[in-house]
Chain A
Amino acid sequence: MSTALSLRQTQALTVRSTKALLRQPALVAPSIFFPIFFAFLGASSFGKTTNIPGFPQVESFLQFSLASTVVQGVLFGSVTGAAALATDIENGFFDRLLLSPSTRSGILIGRLAGSAIFGAAQSLIFILLLLPFNAPVKSGVIGIVALSVSGGIVALAIGSIMSSVAIRTGSAEAVQGAFPLLFVLLFFSSAFFPRETMSGAYKRIADINPISYLVEGMRTLVLDGFNMQALAKTLFIPTAICIVAVALALTQLRRRISAQ
């Protein structure tokens, strides 16, 4: 099959998964609302913690929270995409796709690309919503674009991990059930407080938690302004995680197909 044809098929599947997300406002709305709610709740409760030694120089707690709000929202959104994949498997639509002569990887990538587009859009929405509340992105427009792209890559990475669960189990409930694990990972990271202010077991977990590095990469662009090192950190870490996660999801898909 030609690459152009394969791309056309993947694009069609991406459009389908994006449309499906947009047509389920009840599923999408919480992934926008709750991260914003937690950001404002955190700002009103922990606003004064910005004076603690070790806390970076920030305009406001909301500015500090911006990166974690993006990651949190993307986590919500990616689970929705993976649950939709599991639903496709449950209701047989996935079989319909497998019955077609399209590439097997295109079927998965199309679904994941939909999650990535949604993740990028979510990130932009969070940035624009928090901007008027003293949460500027110091790296300017390029930084905002980079943060949105990074949000899309994070969505692709998390979506791939959750899609692996979907492909392995074929159950939307299993995907939803795995979601709290992601949330625990988020809480045991530097999403809500800098690692410099942590101590003990909490810090040790945050030090090895990949979510810490995802959030900190984005946070550099928000707090420190634009420079190539910050840009690389923002894009490199999620891309590295993404490559591993997509490879894992494709392996699961190959296993599922060959086991049938």
Chain B
Amino acid sequence: MTEPLAMAPIVAENLVRHFGDVEAVNGIDLQVNAGEIFGFLGPNGAGKSTVVRMLTTLLRPTSGKAFVAGFDVAKHPNEVRQRIGVALQDAAIDPLMTGVELLRLQAVLYSIPKSKMKSRADELLERVGLTAAADRRVGTYSGGMRRRLDLALSLIHQPTVLFLDEPTTGLDPMSRVSLWEEVRRLNNEGTTVMLTTQYLEEADQLADRIAIIDKGVIVREGKPQELKASVGFPTLVINVSRDQHELAKSILMGFGDLRPTAEGTLGVGLRGGAEAVTDVVRKLDESSIRVQHLELNEPSLDDVFAEATGHRLEGAQQ
């Protein structure tokens, strides 16, 4: 039997994956430490899922190395599979089976002894609040119930590393919060979690550390607070009529660097902080610029993303 290497639960070294001419992941280095919740934040198509699929043995890297739970994913995929739990995007669950049937199938696939199968399935169903729906076909489950069952399935063998690929996409706010609580509880019990998300709030709320990925490259990495602090200044966002955009832009540039914002608005990282707002308004007024809307935003992960990539996180919801 191969022994695991003494290293962090997830390590990637210059990981690359190409699909034909498309460079989906282009040289990623990352390390997720034991007991961490690591957030992988990026827009659709940034390469998040491709990285997860490589780390979970579903995809072979074009080049580079990855180690999960102390094993090389390319050389010892089965050792990796025995130690990881994975909930992929879209909760891939057979709608014709019942919740309990799927859990028992999963238990067999992970070689859980027959004597422990029932108790483990019951325990997990209770944990994710699906005991009452256990004997119903999954096709009748709501989106939130499917996600919770998906999570239960990924936990059947008590993995040490858990991968959650966009676990709350498409869920209503209540289901989202309930899933976050479950992820926190799992993490408190010692499970290392790597989750991909396109939701800024999710990354901010859950993750101990975050990597921001765009176009297959990690553009920022660190603790959420540190990343936000690195942006420094709050962002002043204003709306002015289209014919006054250029003039307003030149005035704003005197107060800091322009930042990407939603179309039709202008944003500036205020060097003078909140106190400089009055000066900005006065300058704009002196130039007869009519401000239709004004807001001051404390630095957010979206600002970090914008600063690193030059554009806002597509589809991000605060």
Interface residues on A, range: 20 to 34
Determine the residue in chain A with the shortest Cβ distance to B111.
A5
Chain A residues closer than 8 Å to B89, beta-carbon distance: 92
Q: Are A9 and B78 in contact (CB under 8 A)?
A: no
B274 within 8 A of A: no
B86 within 8 A of A: yes
Q: Are A92 and B92 in contact (CB under 8 A)?
A: yes
Mark contacts of B80-104 with chain A using CB atoms, 8 A cut-off: 1 yes-contact digit, 0 otherwise: 0110101011101110110001001
Q: Are B81 and A93 in contact (CB under 8 A)?
A: no
Determine the residue in chain A with the shortest Cβ distance to B150.
A96
Q: How far is the CB of B15 from chain A (nearest CB, A)?
A: 15
Report if A99-B97 is in contact (Cβ < 8 Å); known contacts: A16-B105, A92-B92.
no
Number of contacting residues on B, CB 8 A?
Answer: 28
Q: Are B105 and A93 in contact (CB under 8 A)?
A: no
B57 within 8 A of A: yes
Set A12, A93, A99: member contacting B108, Cβ < 8 A: A12
Report if A96-B88 is in contact (Cβ < 8 Å); known contacts: A101-B111, A260-B58, A260-B60.
yes
Set B58, B92, B96, B109: member contacting A101, Cβ < 8 A: B109
Q: Are A96 and B111 in contact (CB under 8 A)?
A: no
B59 within 8 A of A: yes
B197 within 8 A of A: no
A97 to B105, CA, bound (A): 10
Counting chain A CB atoms within 10 Å of each CB, the highest count among B58, B81, B92, B137 belongs to B92
Report if A20-B96 is in contact (Cβ < 8 Å); known contacts: A97-B109, A99-B86.
yes
A93 to B105, CA, bound (A): 12
Q: Are B109 and A93 in contact (CB under 8 A)?
A: no
Set B58, B93, B101, B137: member contacting A99, Cβ < 8 A: B58
Q: Are B58 and A19 in contact (CB under 8 A)?
A: no
Report if A12-B97 is in contact (Cβ < 8 Å); known contacts: A101-B81, A101-B82.
no
Q: Are B109 and A12 in contact (CB under 8 A)?
A: yes
Q: Are B96 and A100 in contact (CB under 8 A)?
A: no
Chain A residues engaging chain B, CB cutoff 8 angstroms: 1, 5, 8-9, 12-13, 16, 19-20, 23-24, 88, 91-93, 95-102, 258, 260
Given contacts A9-B109, A12-B104, A20-B96, 17 further A-B contacts (CB under 8 A): A9-B111, A12-B105, A16-B101, A20-B94, A20-B97, A23-B96, A91-B90, A92-B90, A93-B92, A95-B58, A99-B56, A99-B58, A100-B109, A101-B82, A101-B110, A102-B109, A258-B60
Chain B residues engaging chain A, CB cutoff 8 angstroms: 56-60, 78, 81-82, 84, 86, 88-90, 92-94, 96-97, 101, 104-106, 108-111, 137, 153
- What are 30 A-B contacts defined by CB distance under 8 Å? A5-B111, A8-B108, A9-B108, A9-B111, A13-B105, A16-B101, A16-B105, A19-B96, A19-B97, A19-B101, A23-B96, A24-B96, A91-B92, A92-B89, A92-B92, A93-B92, A95-B58, A96-B92, A96-B93, A96-B153, A97-B109, A98-B57, A99-B58, A99-B86, A99-B88, A100-B81, A100-B106, A101-B111, A102-B109, A258-B60
